[in-house]
Amino acid sequence: MRKFIGIGIFVFLLMGVFQNGASFAQNDLQTAFEKVKNGYETARYHAIVMDTVAVPHWRGRYPSPGKIKYRIEKWEIWYDGPNRLRLEGLSTTRSRKLIIIKNNKKLYTKHHDSWVVRPVLERRNNRVREFPIRLRGEPFVQLLEKNYSIHLRADGTIANRPAEILSILPIYHGRLSWKIWFDAKTGIILRQVQQVETPYGLKTVKAKRVVSIDYQKSFRDSLFTVRGNVVERKNPFNRGKERHSANGSKMFRNLENLAKAAPYPIYLPSPLPQGFAFVEGQFAHRRHLTMIQSHFSDGIIDFSIFQIDAPEEMEKQFLKRSRMHHPPEGRRPPMEIIPFEKDGFAFLIMGNVPSPWLQKLVHRMRPYPGE
């Protein structure tokens, strides 16, 4: 039983921004990228942030305008460079305050009278809440510049700070548009809005705005220190890492190399949606189970395909548990998930894309390379 729970956690941890052909857009992107990156590496600040998220996020078909609901949360944030962070929030759907502390390589979450601590994986380190731009390198930057129109300009003030706005607008229909306002002097993000084109017009998916921000010289250590009972949670997949084959821990940046190294034919959607490309993949072997992951992106929107080769009973259990992983009504799912079977393999396709997209990808699955 624990084996399948471990597999599920492994999947979620793997899912883990910036030419539309013009040098102007490339310069704008690079300028904003460097300013934000440098800001989060050096800044110390205390801020109040309002976070708005559409509920549900992507699940199901696009809702009509009258059915769109939003969950609004208020966060108090203490940010001390890239290594220390404290978040305190009270959701309207929760009866208790949520407290999260990041201290170097560990992430603590308050659960009643105890703290649950987990390691912060290096590849997820920039995705802790207060790093909303995933500062990813190539080939994501190339895909972003190819599939989106990018512009940077000054845009008034936010929370009494001079702001610049970076607009990232899609070339293809039905994609995310992203507008990011950041502090012109420090690079800290002050506001961001993500919208998606639907049959009913633009729909806001996420919005975040800094209400107030004060830059500090230092913080007291107690803000980032936990007291009381601490329960350690490890990633089950990482605990068994030493049992994986050498190839199991290797990342492949080339699809052909991944296909050659994989112990069985890999399946991919053909054709891919416009603008999407393979960016990375890997496979892992654990006794009677082999899992291949292939990851695709257009620079902002991502999806991954997990292909399982295991005894029939294990595959059935994996699919059953994947189908059961649906949050309660009213909760925002982190991403859309579709488990399915094909040609004796179990598959799980997941991503931050609309459900109808993933359904089409399921029907396009073919062995690679095609005939």
Residues of the chain with pLDDT below 50 are 1-25, 57-60, 124-133, 236-248, 327-333
pLDDT at 167: 93
Nearest in space to 78 (alpha carbons), one of 65, 69, 89: 89
DSSP code per residue over 75-112: EEEEEETTTEEEEEEEETT-SS-EEEEEETTEEEEEET
Contact 206, 194 (CB under 8 A): yes
User: What is the length of the chain?
Assistant: 371
pLDDT at 317: 81
How far is CA 185 from each of CA 43, 247, 352, rounded to the nearest angstrom?
11, 45, 32
pLDDT at 279: 92
Angle at CA of residue 190, ends 189 and 194, nearest 5°: 80
CB neighbour burial string for 322-356, b if at least 16 within 10 angstroms, e if fewer: beeeeeeeeeebebbbbbbeeeebbbbbbbbbbbe
CATH of domain 236-367: 3.30.200.100
The residue ranges of every structural domain in the chain are 17-231, 236-367
Nearest in space to 176 (alpha carbons), one of 253, 275, 268, 271: 275
3-state class (DSSP) for residue 35: helix
Q: Other C-beta atoms within 10 Å of 96: how many?
A: 10
Cis link prior to 327 (omega < 30° from 0)? no
Nearest in space to 300 (alpha carbons), one of 210, 153, 199, 195: 195
What is d(CA 213, CA 226) in angstroms, rounded to the nearest whole number? 24
Amino acid letter, 92: T
- 311 φ, ψ (degrees, to nearest 5): -55, 150
Q: Which residues pair with 351 in a beta bridge?
A: 303, 336
What is d(CA 346, CA 336) in angstroms, rounded to the nearest whole number? 17
Sheet holding 176-183, edge to edge: 148-158, 161-170, 176-183, 189-198, 201-215, 44-55, 69-80, 84-91, 98-103, 106-111, 114-119, 229-232
Nearest in space to 78 (alpha carbons), one of 103, 60, 57: 103
pLDDT at 54: 72
Asked: is 17-231 a CATH 3.20.20.10 domain? The reply is no
pLDDT at 65: 56
Contact 216, 46 (CB under 8 A): yes
Sheet holding 289-297, edge to edge: 277-286, 289-297, 302-309, 345-351, 336-342
Longest CA–CA span in the chain (Å) reads: 63
Residues 318-327: pLDDT tens digits?
Answer: 787 777 655 4
Q: Please name the residue that has the structure tokens 């502390």.
A: 101
pLDDT at 251: 82
